[in-house]
Amino acid sequence: MRDEEVEKGLGSDPRILLMGGAIIISLLLLLLPAIFPGLGFGGLKYGLDLDGGSWLQLRPEGAMAQVDADVGAIITHEYSSFLNTTVTVTGATDTSVSFEVGTLVTAKQIESLGYGQAIVSGGRGGVSAVTLQVDKNHVISRYLENSYKTEVVLSEEGDELWYEIRKQTSAGELEAILDDVGGSVTLYRDGVSQDTLVKTKEILEDKLNLFGLSDVKPTIVEREYILIDLAGYDIETAMDLAATPGKFEIRIQTQGNESIHAVYGEDIQTVGIHKADNYGVWGVPFTLTQQGAVLLREAAIETNAVNDPLNHEVIMYLDNKVIFSAPLNDRLADNLKILPVQDMSASFGSDSESKESAKQLESHLRAGALPVNVEVIGSGQVPASLGAQFKELTAIAGLLAIIMVSFMIYLRYRRKEIMLPMIITSLSEVVMILGFASAVKWQLDLPAIAGIIAVIGTGIDHLVIITDEVLYEGKLPPTKVYLKRISRAFGIIFAAAATTIIAMIWLFWMGFGALKGFALTTIIGVLIGVLIARPAYARIIKEVLKEEQE
């Protein structure tokens, strides 16, 4: 049966057909995008060190703390300041706080600070008795939120409860804030929780995807900061894309430069595609949630923007920068007098800069704001000219590697009919690796190129093992002996490949950045070699030696 397979020749051998098909597909993936740029698939993507660009190290700003405080003291401190009157706590339990206020108040006023639900009863002499349903952890986090004017979330790590303050602070500043309410700091550390770090990384990745940078993958390093490589982008553009939190807010002007808050970005339900209207003005349509629409209407009525829109403009902020400011149009103002309106739009201008601003706003609205501000703790830039130089040097290094390998093979065997199949097989592996990289939009950088060169070396080692086993006393052995020796050769090859892959998997898992690129290249190269190239070479070298012997 095996002799019949040999008689059929190379053209019908499944191993040859598999390698030939893989090479053809790889060449199509590599060449067609260069010939037809509009195809939208394939083509090599180069990393920062080959294409030029910039890199950023971002550290989310925040602090983690274990604190304790007296709930009654917090209630006294907050409501006496808020109501500008005397507040006296008359009783406190784990679930409620009772206190008297030296003026008449409503439940809505008490609940507006966000500490809990209130029951209010009027007393003699204009004094109100209040019972507030509370949770201690919520009261402390709310107090910290009001003090820092930022979000404070509860985070569980094992059996410990931490307060995550999503703003840059210090242990001394936190101690001073808690001193006012009889509190103290038990444990403190700079940085945010792992969940917040992962969420920040995911939102950054979503934003980069919306800008067409799907192959840019932010990486968490040392559970502390996020590393981003932006090939082809200068440092200023990289900062705009990745280092801004993307916090969106709509405010309505009251008088002069004063304004009141209406809605935040989380009140936006859907976001349309940035586009130009009939007059060429670029804008981004979006839809508010029902709650957001109610809040906007209440703010518009409170400021009288519905009756006097010219003196009460709607102002949109992105990261505390004004991106839009204009009066309500007459139709929208009339509608807001009657009912909430959910469909809105942010308009810019008609120039190219306005188009980019609209695109940036769309990405921020779609991906959402980062949960915390990020601090740039490191950055750098590789000029495009230097990247082009690296490309040339790596191409030369690869070519020299192939030439030297060819020379060493020729010195060993002194037979070009053996050397040529080896070199062709090795080059075919490189083509298939690059084809795979093109298919999955995997960025090639210097470590990845180093991995390819390393694969060439290990691949030649495997081909030498096959050749030495096939050559029996300098000639092709009988079929039975050939099969036995080729099986032994592949046993050695598979064992060596398995150990390499296992080592590279751990390097990929535990490494980051350059280490991951090198490990992934080596794994893919070894798999392509042992599953496609080596079996095909074994068949080719047998046919070559058979023809020579005949």
Extents of the domains making up the chain: 2-52+383-549, 55-60+195-241, 63-191, 246-351
Task: Give pLDDT, residue 549.
Answer: 63
| Greatest mean pLDDT range, 69-78, 360-369, 438-447 | 69-78
- What percent of the chain shows pLDDT beyond 90? 15
Task: Give pLDDT, residue 31.
Answer: 84
Dist. CA 248–CA 498, nearest whole Å? 51
Task: Give pLDDT, residue 6.
Answer: 43
| Mean pLDDT in residue range 305-313 | 89
Closest CA to 74 of 173, 159, 178: 178
Dist. CA 134–CA 145, nearest whole Å? 16
The strands making up 314-318's β-sheet, listed across from edge to edge, are 259-264, 248-253, 314-318, 321-326
Dihedral of CA atoms 448, 453, 458, 459 in degrees, nearest 10, equals 100
pLDDT over 90 (residue 188): yes
pLDDT category, 511, cuts 50, 70, 90?
Answer: low
Say which residue, 386 or 452, is predicted with more confidence.
Answer: 452
With b meaning 16 or more CB within 10 Å and e meaning fewer, what string describes 184-207?
ebeebeebbbeebbebbbebbbeb
pLDDT over 90 (residue 173): yes
The Cα angle at residue 462 between residues 456 and 466, in degrees rounded to 5: 140
Comparing 78-82, 460-464, 477-481, the range with the smallest average pLDDT is 477-481
| Mean pLDDT in residue range 320-327 | 81
For tokens 């990020």, what's the residue?
374
Give the pairing type, strands 314-318 and 282-288.
unpaired
In the numeric block, which tokens belong to residue 517? 């690129």
Q: Are 66 and 394 in contact (CB under 8 A)?
A: no
In Å, how far are 120, 153, 197, 252 from 149, measured between CA atoms?
27, 13, 21, 20
pLDDT over 90 (residue 455): no
pLDDT category, 176, cuts 50, 70, 90?
Answer: very high
pLDDT over 80 (residue 360): no
Q: Rounded to 5 degrees, what are φ and ψ at 535?
A: -60, -40
In CATH, 246-351 is 3.30.1360.200: yes
pLDDT over 60 (residue 67): yes
pLDDT over 80 (residue 268): yes
Residues 126-161 have pLDDT tens digits of 788 999 999 999 999 989 988 888 888 998 887 889
Residues 101-124 have pLDDT tens digits of 988 888 888 887 888 889 988 766
Task: Give pLDDT, residue 185.
Answer: 93
pLDDT over 80 (residue 432): yes
Closest CA to 89 of 126, 134, 124: 134
| Mean pLDDT in residue range 434-449 | 82
In the numeric block, which tokens belong to residue 478? 């009988």
Dist. CA 253–CA 87, nearest whole Å? 34
CATH assignment, 2-52+383-549: 1.20.1640.10
Dist. CA 213–CA 206, nearest whole Å? 9
Closest CA to 216 of 205, 227, 226, 207: 205
Closest CA to 548 of 406, 426, 409, 415: 415
Task: Give pLDDT, residue 21.
Answer: 92
Residues 8-25 have pLDDT tens digits of 567 778 888 999 999 999
**Maximum distance among all alpha carbons in the chain?**
120
pLDDT category, 532, cuts 50, 70, 90?
Answer: very high
In Å, how far are 63, 135, 275, 358, 364 from 352, measured between CA atoms?
40, 52, 12, 10, 19
pLDDT over 90 (residue 506): no
Q: What global pTM score does this model have?
A: 0.65
| Residue ranges with strand state E in 19-159 | 45-46, 53-60, 63-68, 87-92, 96-101, 117-122, 128-133, 152-157
pLDDT category, 210, cuts 50, 70, 90?
Answer: low
pLDDT over 70 (residue 1): no
| Mean pLDDT in residue range 184-189 | 93
Task: Give pLDDT, residue 37.
Answer: 65
Q: Are 518 and 450 in contact (CB under 8 A)?
A: yes
Dist. CA 545–CA 549, nearest whole Å? 6
CATH topology identical between 2-52+383-549 and 246-351: no
